Amino acid sequence: MRAITYSRFGSADVLELTEQPDPHIGPDTLVVRVKAASVNPVDWKIRQGYLEGLIDVQLPAIPGWDVAGVVEQVGLDTPEFQVGDEVYGYVRKDTVQGGTFAELVAAPVRTLARKPASLSFEEAAAVPLAGLTAYEAIQRAGVKDGQTVLVHAAAGGVGAFAVQIAKALGARVIGTASEANQEFLRGLGAEPVTYGDGLADRVRALAPDGVDVVLDFVGGGTVAASAGNLADGGTITSIADPTARTEHGGHYVWVRPSVAGLDALTALFDAGKLSVEIAQVFDLADAADAHRANESGHTRGKVVVRV
Ligand SMILES: NC(=O)c1ccc[n+]([C@@H]2O[C@H](COP(=O)([O-])OP(=O)(O)OC[C@H]3O[C@@H](n4cnc5c(N)ncnc54)[C@H](OP(=O)(O)O)[C@@H]3O)[C@@H](O)[C@H]2O)c1
């Protein structure tokens, strides 16, 4: 099969299109014919070698954790699916090696759910990791009807899903973004606010009594800077800064594969409460450009690779 691989850590230049053996089927694994995959920041952070010691990588590695495709082969004990089923998933394995930037991927059955019928393969591939992260962060924070939620990086892959999920729960959402993305955020139902110097004051002007939940999808000093915006009893949840938990008594979330979570997202798509924003679609052979696009740090929604 054709796949994108890298044999050493480095810039996007290390990514190349190569011929690889087809993946092996396991007893609780399915082989999926990949129609589309998507890029997450973790992909290029791993590729750069930034996450050595935290995530095990076996080189040469095929990058990519998000997939949408069709079941090509079923394992000995995977009664949930049949050959030909359309699926999507966050194909997180213990080791980074056989990823989704390939024509075929071996996916543990615990990572896959049925693709939402209303989404194309390209749209579905944009969902799993970012959508599950948004969903799990919102669940952990306990967002409820009537609360005010501040979402940092609201126009990004995770943020755009989080804004919509929080709105669907009945929350008022304030979202940080640059000017270029503020109209987009209004379209999702959020009140946009520009990040950078003076952000806390701008949030205070919108929510003088404070916000109930901060969702930090940026890191850096964002958690500390937002602490002063919390209402009494408010909490901070971060996916990028563990001090949200250790110093601020809130939560740090590292997304886990979850069939139930994917099914919950599917229900929101089917109910018309969730939509997918795609910044750009690249062919598999141009995966390096897809990585570069996401690495810019300013894409709106998701970068997708069609296979
Ligand atoms: N712990 C986990 O499980 C987990 C899961 C997923 C992601 N993450 C991490 O969470 C972060 C976000 O992921 P993502 O997929 O959403 O990334 P992304 O799609 O690449 O985020 C891009 C967005 O970030 C916005 N942005 C950049 N700098 C900002 C700032 N200082 N304040 C507010 N917005 C800013 C940009 O908006 P403008 O263009 O308007 O500037 C852009 O829309 C990454 O660091 C990623 O590694 C962690």
Among protein residues, the one with the nearest Cα to ligand 1's atom 48 is: 239
Range of the domain at 214: 130-252
The reply to whether 68 falls in a domain is yes
The preferred substitution site among 218, 243, 294, 295 for testing ligand 1, maximizing ligand atoms within 8 Å of CB, is 218
pLDDT tens-digit profile of 111-166?
999 999 999 999 999 999 999 999 999 999 999 999 999 999 999 999 999 999 99
Residues 57 and 14 in one domain: yes
Per DSSP (E only), the strands in 42-128 are 56-62, 66-73, 86-90, 95-98, 104-108, 112-114
Residues 6 and 84 in one domain: yes
pLDDT (average), residues 277-283: 98
The reply to whether 294 falls in a domain is yes
Can you give the pTM of this predicted structure? 0.98
Residues 81 and 169 in one domain: no
**DSSP H stretches of helix in the chain:** 41-47, 121-125, 128-141, 157-168, 182-188, 199-206, 222-226, 243-246, 259-270, 287-295
Question: Residue 95 and residue 128: Cα distance in Å, rounded?
Answer: 18
The total number of structural domains that make up the chain = 2
- Token couple for 275: 């939509």
- The label of the residue with tokens 């901070």 reads 236
Residues 102 and 51 in one domain: yes
pLDDT tens-digit profile of 191-231?
999 999 999 999 999 999 999 999 999 999 999 999 999 99
145: CATH = 3.40.50.720
Q: Is the CB of 226 under 6 A from ligand 1?
A: no
The reply to whether 187 falls in a domain is yes
